[in-house]
Amino acid sequence: MDELVERVHFGELFDAYADILTEKQREICELLLGGDLTVAELAIELEVSRQGAHDLVRRSRERLDEIEDALGLLKLRKRYEALVGVIRDNASALPDEFMERVSKYTGRLNADV
């Protein structure tokens, strides 16, 4: 996976599942994502070795992946957004009643259609 794509994915996972992580894992993710720190800088900030910081980062990312594998909320959100896009792209061909009913559930189509 491209580094930028991986970083965005990591951020999306963190946004979705931050509350499930341990306090330490949350802190590491916040420093990495918000502070844009390298692993060496993270080690200094946390007062651990570089290897220790690397292990904490690896375990945090693995934990986020495990949670996503178990719950699948990020995957579900992406599928939902794709479906909304298809409906929006075809809005002119769909009956108004259908669009009104769909808008009640999505809350996002009215402004775009």
pLDDT digits (tens, 9 = 90+) for 36-93: 788 899 999 989 999 999 999 999 999 999 999 999 999 999 999 899 889 989 989 9
Identify the pLDDT of residue 1: 61
User: CA-CA distance, 13 to 5, in Å (whole number)?
Assistant: 12
Identify the pLDDT of residue 108: 61
Q: Are residues 50 and 83 in the same domain?
A: no
- State the residue range of the domain holding 98: 75-107
- Looking at residues 87-108, what average pLDDT do you find? 86
User: CA-CA distance, 35 to 38, in Å (whole number)?
Assistant: 9
Q: How many CA atoms lie within 13 A of 58 on its CB side?
A: 6
Identify the pLDDT of residue 34: 86
Q: What confidence tier does 113 reach under pLDDT thresholds 50, 70, 90? A: very low
Q: Are residues 24 and 59 in the same domain?
A: yes
Identify the pLDDT of residue 109: 56
User: CA-CA distance, 79 to 48, in Å (whole number)?
Assistant: 40
| 31 CB-near residues (< 8 Å, 6+ apart) | 37, 42, 45, 46
Q: Are residues 90 and 37 in the same domain?
A: no
Identify the pLDDT of residue 112: 47
Q: Are residues 8 and 60 in the same domain?
A: yes
Identify the pLDDT of residue 103: 84
Q: What is the largest CA-CA distance in the chain?
A: 62
Q: Are residues 31 and 67 in the same domain?
A: yes
